[in-house]
Structures are given as structure tokens and as C-alpha cells.
Amino acid sequence: MSTGTLLAIVIPVVVVVALIVLALVLVRRRRRLRERFGPEYERTVEGADSRFAAERELDERAKRHDELDIKPLPDSARDRFARDWDGVQHEFVDRPEDAVHDADRLVTSLMQARGYPTEGFEQQMKDLSVEHGRTLEHYRAAHEIDTLSAEHRADTEQLRSAMVHYRTLFDELLSDDGGQTRHAPA
């Protein structure tokens, strides 16, 4: 067999094998990102120019997150935050708008205590998406209602809903393991 014939056989085989390996790597990457980001994966893909661009953004979020010093809370801080949440929840009865604003500030304070940067809502969402993608929609909905509330355009049911949404993320951030809800519904 001549060298030309051999190359004509080997080169296409190498190209096909390389394409198969590349496809497998991309499928594994996609699966890993879906598992890590949960619903935030699809949301990011829908908002991006392409799936590749969305996956690149999610990888960048993960790299940034891995550089953060996220830490569990000491028991004393966890207890203090839980008491503060109970206070905010009790405040809701008489001053629902104030309670929602205070819930937002308390969640932000908890994020900061855990080691998350708090330099703006969009960046907070990106940083939280890495470990808390399954509860992120709660934070997004609560923040939207908090914005309406600041303009006095949220009704009591929306404000109650915001408290429930904030509590979902609050409880997850408060636990070390992304754990269980600790409070009864507002």
C-alpha cells in the first residue's frame, strides 16, 4: 500500500475519532453545567446568543465562584440570623413593605457573611447561581416585588409572596449544606 493511500485512510479516521472525542467532551461539559446550575442553565442559554456562549458564561461564573471564600456560618451567627429573620417575619403583620425591604437587606447581609460579594443584584445572581441555581428564581421574584414595593405598587399578596421567596433563599444560605427549610410560611 502506498503512502498516499495510507494517508487517505488514516487522516479521515483520525478526523472522525477527533470529532467523536470532541462531541463526548461537549456532552459531558453540558451535563456537568446542567447539574451544577439547575434551572439557571436553561435560563442562561435562552438569554444568550448561542449555547456555546451561555456555557462559556456559566464556566466563567463557576471559576469566579471557586475563587470566592464561601464559608459556613458559626452557630452563633446562624442563630442571630435566624432571630433576625423571625423579627422581619413578625414585622410583616404591621409593616409589610418595610418587612420586604428588611428581608432583602437581611438576605444580602447573610450573603456577605457567607463570603459572597454583594456589589449589585445582577452580580449577586451570577455568584449565587453556581451553588443555588435551584432557588435563584425565588430571589429573582422577591427582588422584583421588592422593587415594586419601593414604588408602593405591590399589593399585600405580592408582599407575602416576596417574603416566602426571600425565605427560601435565606434558609438555603443559612444552612451549610444547601439544606432544609427551617421556618413556617409567612
DSSP string, the chain: --HHHHHHHHHHHHHHHHHHHHHHHHHHHHHHHHHHHTHHHHHHHHHSSSHHHHHHHHHHHHHHHHHS---PPPHHHHHHHHHHHHHHHHHHHH-HHHHHHHHHHHHHHHHHHHT---S-HHHHHHHHHHHHTTTHHHHHHHHHHHHHHHTT---HHHHHHHHHHHHHHHHHHHSTTS----S---
- What pLDDT is attached to residue 161? 98
Same domain, 19 and 60: yes
Select from 24, 45, 67 the last residue of a domain.
67
- Kindly state whether residue 181 falls inside one of the protein's structural domains: no
Total-model pTM = 0.80
Same domain, 89 and 155: yes
- Kindly state whether residue 186 falls inside one of the protein's structural domains: no
Q: Is the pLDDT of residue 178 over 80?
A: no
The whole domain housing 62 covers: 3-67
The arithmetic mean of pLDDT across residues 28-47, rounded, is 93
- What pLDDT is attached to residue 5? 87
Q: Is the pLDDT of residue 148 over 60?
A: yes
The arithmetic mean of pLDDT across residues 59-88, rounded, is 96
Tens digits of residue pLDDT in 105-124: 999 999 999 999 998 999 99
